[in-house]
Amino acid sequence: MNPKERAQNLRRIVNDDAFKDLMAGVKEVQSAVFLDSSATIEEIQKAHHVIQGVAWIERYIVSVLDAEKVYDKKQK
């Protein structure tokens, strides 16, 4: 799969309302753990790892979309 196809596939997913709701929901639930004074260290660590995972996914999406731009420029 070339970078353009990969970016088109990811763009379709990223623009999907269910995906947007999923990502926002995960961030919201995990962020609430940090604000919960009764949260254990383990719960806070788990929430931190989940948020790091979400951030990694977002960075990957950006990198795929950036790769499409580079690919497009090379095709000119």
Summarize pLDDT for 24-37 with one digit per residue, the tens: 999 999 999 999 99
Q: Which residue has the tokens 């790769």?
A: 67
DSSP, collapsed to helix, strand or coil, labels residue 40 as: coil
Cβ 67 vs Cβ 11: under 8 Å: no
- Sequence-distant (6+) residues with CB within 8 A of 8 are 68
Digit-by-digit pLDDT tens for the chain (76 residues) are 999 999 999 999 999 999 999 999 999 999 999 999 999 999 999 999 999 999 999 999 999 999 999 999 999 8
Query: Which stretches of the chain are DSSP H helices?
Result: 3-14, 17-35, 41-75
Look at the alpha carbons of 42, 43, 48, 54 in this order and tell me if their dihedral is positive or negative.
positive
pLDDT score for 76: 82
